[in-house]
A and B are shown apart, each in its own frame.
Chain A
Amino acid sequence: MDINWQTSYIDPENLIAISRGDDNRMIKYLRQFQELIPERIERLQECLVAEDRKMVRQTLHQMSPQLEFFGVPEVIPPIRRLEYEYETIPLEELKSLVKKILVQLDGACEEVKMILNKFE
């Protein structure tokens, strides 16, 4: 299926490459994104409320390969910074970085949903 990729949060290059024209494979990765990322966004929000630095790091660590694959470039530098500095970074700065990441993730989730709708 020819898709008009008008995305600004995600870059579909890796997705297109792995799919090699197989729509089912592409849908599999898109659905997986839809299953895993919102759940982790929720956990990240809970970590912020609980001010649980270790869980912030762990949740970001879990989601970063998928975000990198989906070409969400804005979130990679702050995630790497938080992975390294999660114990020492001032709490307010940590919260501010996570909130910026969350904005990007919401945008990425919307785009994934929009693309999946085109298949259905």
Chain B
Amino acid sequence: MDRRSFITSSLAAGFGLPLLSQLIARAEAAGTKILRIGYAAPVQTLDPIKTVFGSDIICQGLMYARLMKANADQSEVGPGLAESWVISDDGLTYTFKLREGLKFSDGSALTADDVAFSFSRMRFQKDTAYAAPFQPLVTIEAVDALTVKFTLDRKFPPFLKLCEIWNTGIVSKANVTALGDDAFGTSPTVTSGPFKFVEWKTGDRVVLARNDNYYIPGLPKLDGIEFIFVADVNTGVSMVQAAELEVSMGVPFARMKELAAAGVTVVSEPSSATYDMLINHAAEPFSNLAFRQAVSFGIDRGVINDAVTAGYGTAATSIFSPKLAFFDKGMTLIARDVEKAKALLAQSGMAPSFELLTNAGTTDEDKAAVLIQAQLAEIGITVTVSAVDPGQVWTQLIAGEYQAQLNWWYNETTDPDNAVRWCVWGAGDNKSYYTRYNNDEVNTLIDAAAGEADDAKRQDMYRKIQRICVDEVAQVALYHPTWTSARSPAVTGLVFDLGSQYAAIDAVDITG
């Protein structure tokens, strides 16, 4: 073989075949409307009662219809599978009337029996992941084929909105019983929502197709959805640019403006998320009120918000998101006051140092931690930042073996009951989001507010709760980010709501 033929044949092998096969690949793309969504975590289960993780609940939200249905941005919640409902005068009984002729994706009838079965699993099955907000629900009964009755043990107005969240998705009793929980969680062959299950490539993607038996005639408009695990968000953005995805969720804030300038459609939507510094009230120095206040006055939430969210988010003034009902709009941003912080620190008598845990590999937390460290250094507090593996963080949080930790949470509905029970309810299982904050007055107010039907009175109680928690620095809320994504401009009607759902996915279309 002479040199020339050696080189040409090698080059042909290296480049020719791939380019040739490109033609084949191009021919594969058909004319169907498939929405491909990239998300930075893989789906782990398709059983709605077994999880609280973003990837799972977004995907499940596309597959299982609920009694109630939210509009696109979750500002209104109205009839879903249920066409009407009656709440008894004492507020303890909710009777839902289902639409007539409801069907599952396989054409079998969806009855009150399936609804009762789904709610019973979610509420009472031992390995249910999120029964916490449904504690007042005590009995569930299918009265007849179209009527289901729920009995509560106390007045609980937030219940109606809760009948819209993902884990109340209606599953087929026959299907779950036939498959068993494990097989149902990996291949739920029957669904009630706009899309039905086709295939789950474990750790890669979930493939869904249009459910022709969906209860709203003419919907969904899409032929199918692929929910794809894209480990690196920057890869996700490139995939949208190359038309390999229609949506890439979670674009880094720092890249939003650059991408917009480059002609990529980037979207920032309201979320109910709160990023905060959790502090351990059960141990020094955060058991000391003056020390907590010194920290609170020593940091500049506005600067942190600008640095982390590039101005897309808002600095925190209260303990929960301004997007929730009964948020106290009268509270102003705590102005950073170095002198006051120094005085409080001196008054506390605590050693001026603590360790701040962050989840390793989280750029946003790194930024926030560095700023907190610098800002508190000015008032004389030495912050040691330790980036640890997320798995270890949870162990330490739950065991109470930490001083401070950066974390975040969101609320499924716009009702704040769930939110305050999550973050400041000392009587709850999670001990005020593992901060061990426990104020009897706050606990009593939370219970009272949940049972109050009069909005003005509820507003007043939530105002008190927020003021007490901010004054006592229950946790150091920092900022509220938005949900970001990069999208194909051809996608219409797609809204990711503040509860982490595509509530109006059935009306989403791909045009052009």
Chain B associates with chain A: no
Interface residues of A (CB under 8 A from B): none
Interface residues of B (CB under 8 A from A): none
